[in-house]
Amino acid sequence: MKPMLTLLEELTNAFGPSGNEEAVRSLILSYIQDYARCEVDALGNIIAYKTGKKRPQKHLMLDAHMDEVGMIVTSILPNGMLRFAPIGGITTEALIGKRVTFGEMEGVIGCVPIHLLPADEKNKLPAYDKLLIDIGADSEQQAARWVQPGAVCTFKNEFLTFGEHRIQAKALDDRAGCAILIDMIRRKQPYDMTFTFTVREEVGLLGAKTAAFQVAPDAALVLETTTAADIAGVAAQQQVCALGKGTVISFMDHATLYDSHYYHHAFEVAARHAIPCQAKRAVAGGNNAGAIHASRGGIPTLALSLPCRYLHSAACVIDEDDLQATAELAQTLACSICAGELDSGHNGC
């Protein structure tokens, strides 16, 4: 059994901004292809059909997205620096003064030195379009040797553990979800289940939409990360969720109003198995559940998330205990749904 942390380190180090998930896909296939029947569809989603001991009452789809946020080069300036657009939502703060990687090549996102700014600009972040990637070229012709418009990069960062069982890495959103699903596929499962590792979540939930259409499940579980704002300077009631307090179960976000039977059932299952969990205390963010629940004739869907600080930045932070809790809850809730313990309370059509 590959230890979860090793898996997570390999996954987060892989290069995979939305639309460019090849490296992550190959890596995941290498982990799971001996344990499930795998297909790769037209957009690059992995659909993995896992045979369990029994046929389930409900066909369950478990989803995690392979892509990460990143940047795409829009043009090359005469001085050899690169203009870019974000892939997914990234703030100026998260970009300025950070390192990026194109896979092989590296760069940095710099800024006009603070010493040279007029007084009224010294305490403000630069406008987004003033951010440029420096790869060390001096002219457009020179830069064109190494990069073209359309080239894609992401944050450069190394995986490491720190403090009390905390993990920092890039792309924990959503390689953490991927790690949990990979771990489930590599184990014997009591029921048949379908696992999807989807593309292009960060640019409109596109992979999940098409995967759900193909899989046509009776129910879905999305494994994700969600914003934990339990950090310095944020009042308790604004924190959304907290590290170390267990899996986050959401009743609503900007993409989905979750089925309330599923929502409450998840807490019951967690309580039954003494798995720590917490409610997401804000309507914020969104994930693949948004696309999945509205697929075909409708699919009851729930999201289980790891609380994650500094989402969509170079250094996201999660807690090992929460990773463990979410893996356990995903397994037990999946079995519960497959066993038919849950009825969404709406008539089937």
Partner 1 sequence: MDYQAVLAFLSASFGKELVDYIVKFMPKQAVCSVSPLGNLYVVFLGQTDRTILIDAHMDEVHLLVTGVDEDGFVHVDRCGGVDTRILPGCAVTLWGQKPLYGIFCNMPPHLKNGNQDEVLPCNQMGIDIGLTKEQADLLVQPGDTVTFRHQITTLQQGRIAAKSMDNRAGIAALLRLSQLLTMDRLPPVTVVLQFSVLEETSGRFAGAVTGGFYHQPTEALVVDASFDQYPASSYATPGALGKGAMIGFSPILSNRISNRLRQIAQEQQLPFTEEVLGGRTGTNADGLCSVAAGIPTGLISYPIRNMHTPVEVVDPVDLETVAQLLFAYVMEGGVTQ
Q: Catalytic residue at 201?
A: yes
Measured distance CA(262)–CA(278) in Å, rounded: 15
99, two tokens: 């390192």
Torsion of the alpha carbons at 164, 165, 166 and 169, rounded to the nearest 10: 140
* Residue of 9, 21, 201, 328 with catalytic role: 201
CB of 313 to partner 1, least distance (A): 4
Residues that bind partner 1 (CB under 8 A): 77, 79, 81, 89, 91-94, 96-99, 105-116, 123-127, 130, 132, 134-138, 142, 146, 156-157, 160, 162-166, 168, 227, 229-234, 238, 240, 282, 284-285, 309-311, 313-315, 317
197/211 Cα distance (integer angstroms): 9
Q: Which residues of 28-48 are buried (b: 16+ CB within 10 A; e: fewer)?
A: beebbeebbebeebeebbbbb
> Toward partner 1, which CB reaches closer, 137 or 185?
137
Cβ neighbourhood burial of 312 (10 Å; 0-12, 13-18, 19+): buried
Instruction: Give the shortest CB-213-to-partner 1 separation in angstroms.
Output: 30
Residue-wise over 134-147: b if at least 16 C-beta within 10 A, else e? bbebeeeeebeeeb
Are 89 and 69 within 8 A, CB to CB? yes
Question: At closest approach, how far in Å is the CB of 331 from partner 1?
Answer: 27
- Minimum CB distance to partner 1 smaller for 155 or for 197: 155
19 vs 107 by CB, closer to partner 1: 107
Q: How far is the CB of 108 from partner 1 (least distance, A)?
A: 4
Residue (162 or 348) nearer to partner 1, CB:
162
Which residues does the annotation mark as catalytic? 201
